């Protein structure tokens, strides 16, 4: 980007498009950008150094595979133009993540790389044609004139390869030298330049100390192989991060807004305001979170919730930004815009995951740059050892070492797999919030479930209502619903819905100082004095007999009413829990409901180890006991009142579409609400770790075998280039096996 464009990003309205506030008190922001020019872990380290050198940038995380960076910075000290200019100077230009898809820079870059590949391929074939006679000719078959003519023709055909096809390697290496930094392109460029200079010298002066051999065929061949590998690798990388790319293109650029006089105008989505009414046509994406005001349709929410089937949307139902209208025009009200939409929260979580580095990736990053120095030393040492004999051969051995040992496969081994699995999980409705949790999942032996909203269906209902003598049932329900409207808990929502079904309107009981106590209940002040709404334990009532789960309303004078809660297990709960136990995992149920109600529900779903009447502290204590006994615990909750427990667990999963994503304490969020995803998640984590280990073993084995061969002069430069390209492609291709998840757990157990 040019200077004027960078300065334009300093306007808050502009940086808000690709940034969000982390801390209001410190004026701290977090921005996501797409960085060009990165090819390996060493490049990512250079980008991080450039960003952290800017005053005001407090943190920077970079992933070379997804080409994304997350920058945390203070708006009091710096602006986006400052740290983006630092990236430009370092040779890694960046674009705001939300704009990369509105520009054709990426497409032009891919097209240019393809042209470089085609030119290298054409010249390689011609050079090989000219080199072939010298390989098969016997002594005296060719005159020196013919031999020199073929060499000159090869030299001329190599020039386009050097100055066009190989220019990315050469320019990046030159920039590394100027900045005194190291990346994968430096040893590659050195190999290319040395080969060209030696061959050129032998063409102009075949009797010099460098020898009479020319290597134009090897040079053009390994440039072609390198470009082929990089082009295919780029295609594979785009596929691995495809879920995020597709997701970020979901929002429309414009939408039809209904004016106060009934007329329709098409406006940019950025001009929408809360309360606007818009018409969404079939095939268009919903531009914001809102409610259907007129019309009926079906929506495609697959990438946002993992729901593969179209979801019916009728009058009064909510729609989410980024989902597609499939059937008919509908009018909707705009209730949430921009960063407040669920779509924006999902994109933010996926962006964070795309740059986060697990432990194995950090290990590869630490190895990458020292390994590049080892490559240079090994190549230089090989040349010195062989120099006393054939100078030309010594230089070509050094070239082979430079080419074959570039740590591409090593730096791609972990991030390629992580990006692929996170994209595959996202397509099935599972968001990865912390990449490190994938590794931790492989060690899990115990799975602890919350009940309400996790294993039970979200649609709870109110059954029998018992009230104090002299109290009206409607009055008691009105008070309870008024208090419950201040909570997102499924039981609270059931009370609100029960009142609305009876009266068709919202509650209007006069209450003050309503407050929710997490995991316990609600308190409020009213004409009856202090009120409590919650479990028998919270309301200081004797434990009720029977198996019904109830919520109670009490005042300072005593009990007022009890509301029986009717709930059913989710459709896949029984089979999913059976599969978990069959796979060898201990399953535990913890709930704040009464013990009889928890026991009854546990029998329905097949859980033997269950505990009721649990406060958040009780759950936390139970979890700590399991961990102290040596168990690795996965906690699965609804994310609404399980924050401390989710944070304490070795790995945590928040279930359900109602989870406040920005506040969730979990490592994973299961948007599709399917219990079956828990075992799939565990199994895929194990599969991911297996593939990462395979990639790392291959990367190390490849270098252990090929480096001695290159040093011994048994590996020509063209074969070294082919080996390096194939090694990287093998690693990325192996990671692509993670791009599909099983539809049936039975295939994986």
Are 535 and 600 within one domain?
no
The predicted pLDDT at position 447 comes to 93
For 546-573, write each residue's pLDDT tens digit. Answer: 445 788 999 888 899 998 887 778 888 8
**Residue at 371 is within a domain:** no
Checking DSSP bridges between strand 94-96 and strand 28-35, what pairing results, if any? antiparallel
The predicted pLDDT at position 458 comes to 66
3-state secondary structure string across 664-720: CCCCEEECCCCCHHHHHHHHHHHHHHHHHHHHHHHHHHHHHHHHHHHHCCCCCHHHH
The pair phi, psi for residue 77, each rounded to 5°, is -110, -40
Task: Give me the helices (H) in 288-358, please.
Answer: 302-305, 342-355
Q: Identify the domain boundary among 48, 72, 103.
A: 103
**Residue at 349 is within a domain:** no
Q: Catalytic amino acids? A: 450
Are 91 and 69 within one domain?
yes
Task: Give me the helices (H) in 241-290, please.
Answer: 242-248
**Residue at 71 is within a domain:** yes
Are 635 and 557 within one domain?
no
**Residue at 593 is within a domain:** yes
Are 448 and 575 within one domain?
yes
**Residue at 187 is within a domain:** no
Q: Identify the domain boundary among 61, 85, 103.
A: 103
Q: What is the CATH number of the domain that holds 542?
A: 3.40.1110.10
Are 471 and 604 within one domain?
no
The number of distinct structural domains making up the chain is 4
Length of the chain: 749
The predicted pLDDT at position 598 comes to 85
Helix, strand, coil percentages in the chain from 3-state DSSP, rounded to 5: 50, 20, 30
**Residue at 159 is within a domain:** no
Which parts of the chain sit beneath pLDDT 50? 100-103, 546-547, 662-663, 745-749
| Strand ordering across the sheet containing 558-566 | 461-467, 558-566, 549-555, 529-534, 521-526, 512-517
Cβ neighbourhood burial of 478 (10 Å; 0-12, 13-18, 19+): middle
Are 549 and 577 within one domain?
no
The predicted pLDDT at position 101 comes to 47
Q: Identify the domain boundary among 650, 665, 683.
A: 683
Looking at the whole model, is its pTM more than 0.85?
Answer: no
The predicted pLDDT at position 733 comes to 82
Are 607 and 651 within one domain?
yes
Longest dimension (CA), the chain: 121
The predicted pLDDT at position 718 comes to 72
The predicted pLDDT at position 553 comes to 92
Whole-number Cα distances in Å, 541 to 538, 560, 617: 8, 11, 20
**Contact at 8 Å (CB) between 151 and 181?**
no
Helices 676-711 and 359-387 sit at what angle, rounded to 10 degrees?
10
Are 607 and 485 within one domain?
no
Are 597 and 677 within one domain?
yes
CB atoms within 10 A of CB 271: 10
For 359-374, write each residue's pLDDT tens digit. Answer: 666 666 666 667 777 7
Torsion angle defined by CA atoms of residues 456, 460, 466 and 471, in that order, rounded to the nearest 10 degrees: 140
Q: What is the CATH number of the domain that holds 271?
A: 2.70.150.10
| Residues near 24 by beta carbon (within 8 Å), at least 6 away in sequence | none
């Amino acid at each position: 980007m040019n200077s004027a464009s960078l300065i334009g990003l300093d306007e808050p309205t502009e940086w808000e498009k690709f940034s969000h506030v982390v801390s209001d008190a410190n004026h701290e922001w977090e921005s996501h950008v797409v960085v060009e020019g990165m090819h390996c872990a060493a490049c990512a380290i250079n980008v991080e150094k450039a960003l952290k050198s800017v005053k005001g940038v407090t943190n920077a995380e970079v992933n070379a595979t997804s080409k994304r960076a997350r920058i945390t910075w203070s708006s009091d000290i710096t602006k986006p133009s400052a740290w983006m200019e630092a990236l430009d100077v370092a040779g890694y230009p960046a674009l705001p993540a939300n704009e990369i898809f509105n520009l054709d820079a990426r497409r032009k870059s891919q097209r240019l790389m393809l042209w470089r590949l085609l030119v290298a391929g054409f010249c390689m074939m011609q050079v090989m044609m000219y080199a072939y006679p010298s390989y098969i000719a016997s002594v005296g078959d060719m005159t020196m004139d013919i031999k020199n003519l073929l060499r000159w023709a090869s030299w001329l055909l190599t020039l386009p390869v050097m100055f066009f096809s190989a220019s990315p390697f050469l320019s990046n290496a030159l920039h590394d030298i100027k900045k005194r930094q190291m990346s994968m392109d430096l040893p590659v460029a050195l190999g290319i330049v040395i080969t060209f200079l030696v061959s050129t010298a032998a063409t102009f002066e075949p009797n010099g100390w460098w020898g009479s051999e020319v290597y134009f065929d090897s040079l053009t061949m390994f440039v072609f192989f390198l470009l082929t590998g990089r082009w295919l690798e780029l295609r594979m990388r785009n596929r691995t991060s495809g879920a995020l790319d597709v997701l970020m293109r979901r929002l429309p650029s414009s939408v039809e807004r209904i004016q106060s006089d009934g007329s329709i105008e098409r406006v940019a989505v950025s001009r929408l305001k809360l309360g606007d009414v818009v018409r969404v046509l079939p095939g268009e994406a919903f531009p914001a979170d809102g409610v259907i005001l007129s019309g009926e349709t079906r929506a495609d929410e697959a990438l946002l919730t993992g729901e593969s089937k179209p979801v019916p949307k009728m009058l009064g139902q909510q729609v989410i930004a980024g989902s597609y209208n499939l059937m008919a025009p509908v009018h909707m009200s705009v209730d949430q815009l921009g960063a407040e939409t669920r779509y924006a929260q999902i994109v933010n979580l996926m962006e964070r995951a795309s740059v986060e580095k697990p432990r194995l990736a950090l290990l590869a990053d630490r190895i990458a740059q020292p390994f590049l120095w080892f490559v240079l030393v090994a190549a230089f040492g090989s040349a010195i050892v062989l120099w006393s004999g054939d100078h030309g051969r010594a230089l070509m051995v050094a070239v082979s070492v430079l080419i074959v040992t570039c740590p591409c496969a090593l730096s791609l081994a972990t991030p390629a797999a992580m990006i692929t699995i996170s994209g595959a999980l996202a397509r099935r409705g599972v968001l990865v919030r912390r990449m490190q949790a994938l590794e931790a999942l492989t060690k899990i032996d115990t799975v602890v479930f919350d009940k309400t909203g996790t294993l039970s269906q979200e649609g709870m209902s109110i059954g029998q209502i018992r009230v104090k003598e002299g109290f009206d049932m409607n009055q008691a329900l009105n008070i309870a619903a008024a208090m419950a409207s201040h909570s997102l808990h499924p039981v609270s929502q059931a009370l609100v819905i029960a009142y609305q079904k009876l009266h068709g309107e919202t509650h209007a009981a006069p209450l003050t100082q309503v407050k929710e106590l997490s995991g316990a209940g609600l308190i409020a002040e009213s004409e009856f004095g202090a009120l409590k709404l919650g479990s028998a334990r919270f309301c200081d009532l004797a434990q009720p007999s029977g198996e019904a789960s109830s919520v109670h309303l009490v005042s300072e004078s005593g009990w007022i009413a009890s509301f029986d809660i009717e709930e059913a297990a989710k459709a896949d709960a029984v089979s999913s829990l059976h599969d978990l136990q069959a796979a060898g995992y201990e399953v535990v149920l913890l709930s704040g409901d009464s013990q009889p109600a928890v026991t009854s529900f546990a029998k329905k779903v097949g859980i033997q180890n269950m505990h009721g009447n649990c406060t958040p502290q009780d759950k936390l204590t139970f979890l700590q006991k399991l961990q102290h006994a040596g168990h690795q615990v996965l906690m699965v909750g609804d994310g609404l009142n399980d924050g401390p427990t989710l944070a304490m667990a070795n790995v945590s999963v928040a279930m359900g579409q109602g989870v406040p994503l920005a506040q969730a304490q979990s490592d994973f969020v299961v948007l599709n609400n399917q219990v079956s995803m828990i075992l799939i998640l565990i199994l895929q984590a194990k599969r991911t770790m297996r593939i990462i280990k395979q990639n790392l073993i291959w990367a190390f084995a490849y270098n252990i075998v090929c480096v001695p061969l290159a040093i011994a002069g048994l590996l020509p430069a063209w074969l070294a280039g082919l080996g390096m390209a194939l090694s990287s492609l093998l690693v990325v291709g192996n990671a692509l096996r993670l791009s599909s998840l099983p539809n049936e757990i039975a295939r994986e157990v």
